[in-house]
Amino acid sequence: MTRRAIVAANWKMNGDLALVNTMVSGLANVELQDNVNVVVCPSSPYLSELSAQVKTKQLSAAISIGAQNVSEHKQGAYTGEISTQMLQELSVKFVIIGHSERRSYYHESSTQIAHKVHTALTAGLTPILCIGESEAERAMEQTDTVLAAQLQPVIDEIGIEKFNDVVIAYEPVWAIGTGKTASSEMAQETHQFIRQFLAQADEDVAAKVPLLYGGSVNASNCEELFAQSDIDGGLIGGASLQVEQFKIICSAAKGK
Ligand code: 13P
């Protein structure tokens, strides 16, 4: 078994302290298959409470903590931003970078995203780098070109070797929050493209990078998606706000 599976909850701007409590209690007894990491990424005001609960209840083996964003700057006059050092103090291990909502609503470019990945890695955080095409781009058969254009600036900035410490999440924009999941065949085909694209730079690294699928994953479709040879888990939005459903998704993942 060479590749771990990861199931990450992206709460986006949802959730509250009560959800932190019920999620921690729920995940305390989740049954996981071999080689699976569960990551919970709440909004930043809840990171501290999540971190405290995971520590007190000695659940750090079961639950890893993730942030939804990080600044590309180390510190300074950047009102509203959060630094890697702040995340580290809260025992955060993962950080979602380049989510399509950040790319489109906050105009984060692939170059800025590459800087963020670099900053996160330098601080020892594992980036969950999100990439994905829009509905129009897929319709125009530009998916591969778009994904390559999102990945290349990151490869150029950090070098392919550093992808040993990166997780990639493929999230087709048209499948996010819409209930329209990519079919497992379509998701597998795209994941295979991403792995092959990375393999052009380094085959060994490409074979080991966990590739997560995101976009309307739920308790009913997770098993089929996770059974695909290049899908190593998921980045879960809406369904991660429901503890029982999220637990089912976590239990379906398996390292490959
Ligand atoms: P949904 O699971 O709600 O479609 O969201 C996916 C996503 O954007 C996770 O980052």
The per-residue pLDDT for range 222-252, each reduced to its tens digit, is: 999 999 999 999 999 999 999 999 999 999 9
Classified as helix, coil or strand, 116 is helix
Residue 10 CB burial class (10 angstroms; 0-12, 13-18, ≥19): buried
Instruction: State the CB neighbour count (10 A cutoff) for residue 9.
Output: 27
Ligand 1 pocket (Cβ < 6 Å) reads 10, 99, 171, 176-177, 214-217, 235-239
Residue 70 CA: distances (Å) to CA of 5, 23, 83, 85, 169: 23, 23, 6, 10, 17
pLDDT at 158: 98
Going from N- to C-terminal start, the domains of the chain cover 5-252
**Cα separation, 171 vs 100, whole angstroms:** 8
Rounded distance from Cα 46 to ligand 1 centre (Å): 19
Residue 64 pLDDT > 70: yes
Classified as helix, coil or strand, 7 is strand
What's the pLDDT band for 140 if we cut at 50, 70, 90? Answer: very high
What is the pLDDT averaged over residues 193-201?
98
pLDDT at 181: 82
Ligand 1 atom at minimal distance to the Cα of residue 12: 10
- Name the active-site residue from 101, 108, 137, 171: 171
- Name the active-site residue from 99, 101, 108, 191: 99
Rounded distance from Cα 172 to ligand 1 centre (Å): 10
The verdict on whether 99 is a catalytic residue reads: yes
What is the sign, positive or negative, of the torsion defined by CA atoms of 173, 170, 119, 13? positive
The pTM of the full predicted model, rounded to 2 decimals, is 0.97
Closest alpha carbon to 45 in 85, 75, 16, 74 = 16
Question: Which helix (H) or strand (E) segment is 139 a member of?
Answer: helix 135-139
Six-digit token string for 118: 């670099």
Ligand 1 atom at minimal distance to the Cα of residue 240: 2
Rounded distance from Cα 32 to ligand 1 centre (Å): 21
Share of the chain above pLDDT 70, in %: 100
Q: Which residue, by CA, sits nearest to atom 9 of ligand 1? A: 237
Closest alpha carbon to 42 in 13, 21, 6 = 13
Six-digit token string for 149: 């254009």
Share of the chain above pLDDT 90, in %: 96
Ligand 1 atom at minimal distance to the Cα of residue 179: 4
Closest alpha carbon to 216 in 189, 184, 247, 243 = 184
The verdict on whether 171 is a catalytic residue reads: yes
Instruction: State the CB neighbour count (10 A cutoff) for residue 196.
Output: 13
pLDDT at 66: 98
5-252 CATH choice from 3.30.230.10, 3.40.50.300, 2.60.120.200, 3.20.20.70 = 3.20.20.70
